[in-house]
Amino acid sequence: MRFYEHITQFQKSLYAELEAECGTAKEQRPPGGLRGELDLFILLPRFGPFLAVIEKNAPSPLAQSANEFRTAA
């Protein structure tokens, strides 16, 4: 359960960062439009810290996979 606690803490801080950067305005969107709105320039810099949380807190096989993925990139 501690692993999931760390993941949710990361998600909470990520959401706060994105909200501060992008605002909180609600917009009506057509169904299935999420992929078109995906902004990798905002998300990619945060992927390394996400993998670090996985490496530090996940069960060993998942932590090892996160480490391999991070070092391969």
What does the pLDDT profile of the chain (73 residues) look like in tens digits?
Answer: 899 999 999 999 999 998 898 888 777 777 776 667 777 888 899 999 999 999 999 999 999 999 999 888 6
DSSP structure string for 20-56: HHH--------TT-HHHH--HHHHGGGHHHHHHHHHH
Of residues 47, 49, 56, the one with CA closest to residue 5: 56
How much is the pTM?
0.77
Domain residue ranges of the chain, discontinuous segments joined by +? 1-7+36-73
